[in-house]
Structure 1
Amino acid sequence: MPVLYTAALAQGSVIVLHQAAASVVLVQLTDPDTLQKATARQEAVLGASSTIGLYLGSGILAVTTAARALAVDSFSYLMSAWCTSRIPTLPAPPAGAGRTTLTAEIRDGLRYTLRDPVLRPLALCLGATGAGAGVITAFSAWYLLTVVQLGPTGLGVIMGASGTGYLAGALASPTLIRWFGPGKVLIASVAVYPLLGVPLLTARPGGLWPAGLAVAGALQLAAAACATATVRMIRQRRCPPELQARTQQTATWLVAGSRPLAALGASVLAVAAGVWGTLLTGTLILAASALALWLSPIRHLNRLPDTTRPVTESSPAHMPQPPTTDTDKGVAPTTAAPVTPLSKALQSVAQLLVQGKTNAQIARQLWVSTHTVDSHIQSIRDHLHADTGCSRAVLAHTLLKHRLVRPPAVPELFDPSFAPNPEGLLLVRAFAEHSATTDIVRAAQITPGALRNRAHNLKLAMRADNRAHIVGLGHTLGILTPDPARHPAPADASLPVNPDPGPAPLLNPKSNL
């Protein structure tokens, strides 16, 4: 037994390293336009090899001994190593990048992932699903063999059907993403996965249960493949090339690292609540991760993120930051996607957004639910062709720049002699044009530690509620538009007209900002 444990540990470690490296190599070898299909095909190959391996292994065991079956399995790994050696030489890392330790790369990957509004909920979902799947996997095979009494053949059939489902789900993922968008596909896949685990909890010996479990297993693994491919596509499109390895290491660490802890917890839980209670707990963990993902901005992700920019000379070479796309600058990603007019309902929400109102305040003022406001703001993002990482301040700037709404009125008790100094002007423009904190401080020419105090002082001086309100008042005061008095009204004349803000005040050199 110690030999088997050692071999299993070594094999599992090598498989994890191989999967992490294969995902990064795929990005380096594939053209960005075909990366989505290549990722889906890679997942499909994994599913096909799993299915073929299960049935081939069962056949070998039927005609020979287990030792010879293990020898054939070892030979398959040697073939994989030979195929890997045929991959062309990959591009060398950028000059001056330096060498870093694995721990430092994982730390940088975690930092980048947790700062990115799209990757952060994906990482948390990966950790939760890894834990839930680890709890279930610890006892699912034992439960099927002893409680449901399937036998080795029945277990092999179910596992083979599951592998076939994984193949189908991976192949179908690009089409589903194109039809419904990555957010809906990912949430639906993660939500369906625990639901299809319910037959395992209710199965009994005999009857049609083996066939039902095989169908449920195939559909469950199809959902898992679809979710895995979608997460990988989002991450590949969201991360710059030089950070692909680090974010992949982070994802692998979250999934593979959570499973041993989950298995250990499952053994403790099985003693206290029984195997059936342990399987139920794992299913509930998976359901909770699906709910958390639905409550995140991922559900508004209607298309894959735009390909990210490479690191420039102004970006730190050792730690690239979350991507600054065109939508972070308040403009459409491409000239082929012009900003489209807003409906009356969207104009009402957008008008309050540039006034710095929160979603809850907008809902109360318009007598609608916060869910409706969330939906309207996402529709506004779609009209502006802005992704989920675009800040509300950038949205406000884009709305006012394209004259889709009116600039807000100046607040009460506003000092008419106020005008920001050059440092304040840089900060207002940075809020209007950038979403990521690193890009804001770079544009404002300040340190990250000074950003909070500068922003607070600017809000106090402008009597603004938040950064979106600062940007809106920047248009009102002529800081972000040459002449706000000429700002034409939107097409919907039924919207309330703000008081004329008057001419833009002159620059006040005595201002504290």
Structure 2
Amino acid sequence: MPGTTSVWRHRGFRRLYAGSTISSFGSEISELAVPLLAIGVLHATSAEVGLLRAVQFAPFLLLTLHAGILVDRVRRRPLMITADFGRFVAIGAIPLLIWLGAEHIWPMLILVFIAGTLTVVHQIADTAYLPSLLDRDSLMSANSKIGAAQSAAQLGGQGIGGLLVSWLTAPFAVLVDAFSYLISGLLVAGIPHREEPPEVPADRRLGPEIREGLAFVLRSRIMRALVGEAATFNFAHEIFLVGFFVWTARDLDLSAFVIGILLSLGAVGAFVGASFGERLSLRYGFGRTMLATIIVGNAVALVVIFARGGGAGTIALLATAFLVQGFGTALANVHNVTLRQTAVPTRLQGRVNASYRLISWGVIPLGAGLGGVLAGTYGNRTGMIIGAVGLALSALWIVFSPIPRMSTAPQQEDLQEPAVPR
């Protein structure tokens, strides 16, 4: 029976796991260091912080569908390696520009856009590659372990990121992120797995291929629920985060270390949630576990309504929100990824995941831009509250879907593939 032991015995999975963990660790450092660099070194306004986040995720809106077609046409592992090395160069250039005396945010916008483009390619290729590396019965266990590792990296990354920003400055912290991508690329390059080239359709026009992936997502009740919840969550979360970063750093004058600790508490919850995802699902049922964790994890951000000054009570409320949200989000994500990997035909993995990313991540720059406007117009705390309300409402997509009635993750043969145009 596939399980923990069989997954760990797979050398290729161990390397993929290590690369994912290290790059996630670096990314979480930059998640804190980049906006703090813009705020503290370049003196960015709330609107500029929102713009920075928007540009970082704009590739998910503009380039995801094309990346999905690329993933379905070529081997996935070389794409992941190239993307990692490219992100090493793009992110590594940010601190170099600062040390050379850059005073404006515009060069950073260009570099984070390039890094975001490569992240689009890497994430779609990564999700599509894992089912070819492992058998389907091992995917839940593998996704749980990767999710737990990423959460542990988030725990250490944001806490250490806060220390690096406080002790060695934000540019140095961003440089650490750059080297994490280099190490990840080298690890993935060493995976001893002969990946078969995908079947390339005779009709290689972009239009029909794009429509096929989008149609599957939009016509499947399960995929519509997953992508609807994810898009609403990500849109609201960006509004929340823009307000959070500026409110805590500027209005409350909290140190980078304290902000990093708050974000790390979310990773504590995420680590626990991802670690116990498979166990809870087997005990309480796949769908009910996913529904319960999404409702709790998404709604807890509403405690920011009671956060006002910068005292211990406010910090405790924020800590609670991140801790519980991390638990629910990580556990739900394990179920989300497993469901997409088992319910989507292999030939459509790249395009369906690209369509999913287009919708769910494409709204992130829109949410970041709106978050900057709301924070600048109505105040940073008000922007956080608006984002928290949106997070709570996102769970309704799952509530009114077939997912809560699922006892286990379905296999493709258990589902009727939606008719899609050729």
Aligned residue type for 1:229:
V
Which consecutive segments of 4 or more residues in structure 1 shift more than 6 A? Answer: none
**CA shift for structure 1 position 121:** 1.6
- Change in CA separation of 1:105 and 1:161 when aligned onto 2, cut-off 3 Å: farther
Structure 1 equivalent of residue 379 of structure 2: 274
Aligned residue type for 1:50:
Q
Q: Is the 8 A contact 1:129 1:285 kept in 2?
A: yes
**CA shift for structure 1 position 166:** 1.7
**CA shift for structure 1 position 149:** 4.1
What is the aligned counterpart of 1:238 among 332, 338, 343?
343
- Change in CA separation of 1:269 and 1:78 when aligned onto 2, cut-off 3 Å: same
Q: Does 1:164 align with 2:268?
A: yes
- Change in CA separation of 1:102 and 1:209 when aligned onto 2, cut-off 3 Å: farther
The aligned runs of 1:354-369 (5 Å cut-off) are none
How far apart, in 2, do the equivalents of 1:50 and 1:126 lie? 20
The aligned runs of 1:16-415 (5 Å cut-off) are 16-87=120-191, 88-94=193-199, 97-98=201-202, 100=204, 105-203=209-307, 204-305=309-410, 307-309=411-413, 325=414
Flag the structure with more relative contact order, 1 or 2, with Cα contacts below 8 A and sequence separation at least 6: 2
**CA shift for structure 1 position 265:** 2.2
**CA shift for structure 1 position 67:** 3.6
- Change in CA separation of 1:40 and 1:99 when aligned onto 2, cut-off 3 Å: farther
CA-to-aligned-CA distance 1:403-441 (integer Å, 9 cap, x gap): xxxxxxxxxxxxxxxxxxxxxxxxxxxxxxxx66759xx
**CA shift for structure 1 position 106:** 4.0
**CA shift for structure 1 position 296:** 2.2
Give the TM-score, by structure 1 length: 0.57
How far apart, in 1, do the equivalents of 2:284 and 2:131 lie? 24
User: 5+ unaligned residues in a row in structure 2: which ranges?
Assistant: 1-104
User: 5+ unaligned residues in a row in structure 1: which ranges?
Assistant: 310-324, 326-388, 390-434, 440-447, 449-513
Q: Provide the secondary structure at the position in 1 that maps to 2:394.
A: helix
Structure 2 equivalent of residue 444 of structure 1: none
How far apart, in 1, do the equivalents of 2:132 and 2:371 lie? 39
CA-to-aligned-CA distance 1:9-38 (integer Å, 9 cap, x gap): 222222232222111111110111111100
CA-to-aligned-CA distance 1:276-322 (integer Å, 9 cap, x gap): 333222222222221232122222222211x224xxxxxxxxxxxxx
How far apart, in 2, do the equivalents of 1:35 and 1:237 lie? 8
How far apart, in 2, do the equivalents of 1:59 and 1:154 lie? 9
How far apart, in 2, do the equivalents of 1:273 and 1:212 lie? 22
How far apart, in 2, do the equivalents of 1:71 and 1:131 lie? 28
Higher-Rg structure is 1
What fraction of aligned residue pairs are identical, expressed as a percent?
26
How far apart, in 2, do the equivalents of 1:200 and 1:102 lie? 45
How far apart, in 1, do the equivalents of 2:256 and 2:339 lie? 38
Q: Is the 8 A contact 2:301 2:391 kept in 1?
A: no
Q: Provide the secondary structure at the position in 2 that maps to 1:90.
A: coil
Structure 1 equivalent of residue 101 of structure 2: none
Query: Quick check: which one's helix share is greater?
Result: 2
Q: Is the 8 A contact 1:26 1:39 kept in 2?
A: no
Q: Is the 8 A contact 2:128 2:349 kept in 1?
A: yes
How far apart, in 2, do the equivalents of 1:163 and 1:67 lie? 23
How far apart, in 2, do the equivalents of 1:436 and 1:21 lie? 22
Aligned residue type for 2:392:
A
Aligned residue type for 2:137:
D
Q: Provide the secondary structure at the position in 2 that maps to 1:170.
A: helix
**CA shift for structure 1 position 150:** 2.9
Q: Is the 8 A contact 1:122 1:293 kept in 2?
A: yes
- Change in CA separation of 1:222 and 1:13 when aligned onto 2, cut-off 3 Å: farther
How far apart, in 2, do the equivalents of 1:225 and 1:102 lie? 34
How far apart, in 2, do the equivalents of 1:55 and 1:134 lie? 20
Give the TM-score, by structure 2 length: 0.68
How far apart, in 1, do the equivalents of 2:353 and 2:247 lie? 33
- Change in CA separation of 1:241 and 1:212 when aligned onto 2, cut-off 3 Å: same
Q: Is the 8 A contact 2:290 2:332 kept in 1?
A: yes
Aligned residue type for 2:138:
T
Structure 2 equivalent of residue 12 of structure 1: 116
How far apart, in 2, do the equivalents of 1:59 and 1:271 lie? 28
How far apart, in 2, do the equivalents of 1:108 and 1:162 lie? 37
Aligned residue type for 1:74:
A
Alignment: residue pair count: 315
**CA shift for structure 1 position 193:** 2.4
**CA shift for structure 1 position 68:** 3.4
**CA shift for structure 1 position 258:** 0.4
**CA shift for structure 1 position 209:** 3.3
- Change in CA separation of 1:226 and 1:66 when aligned onto 2, cut-off 3 Å: same
How far apart, in 1, do the equivalents of 2:278 and 2:210 lie? 29
- Change in CA separation of 1:102 and 1:178 when aligned onto 2, cut-off 3 Å: farther
- Change in CA separation of 1:290 and 1:73 when aligned onto 2, cut-off 3 Å: closer
Structure 1 equivalent of residue 78 of structure 2: none
Q: Provide the secondary structure at the position in 1 that maps to 2:221.
A: coil
CA-to-aligned-CA distance 1:223-279 (integer Å, 9 cap, x gap): 111111111111111111111212211221122200111122223334554333332
**CA shift for structure 1 position 157:** 0.7
Aligned residue type for 2:162:
S
- Change in CA separation of 1:166 and 1:13 when aligned onto 2, cut-off 3 Å: farther
Aligned residue type for 2:237:
A
- Change in CA separation of 1:210 and 1:103 when aligned onto 2, cut-off 3 Å: farther
Q: Is the 8 A contact 1:236 1:244 kept in 2?
A: yes
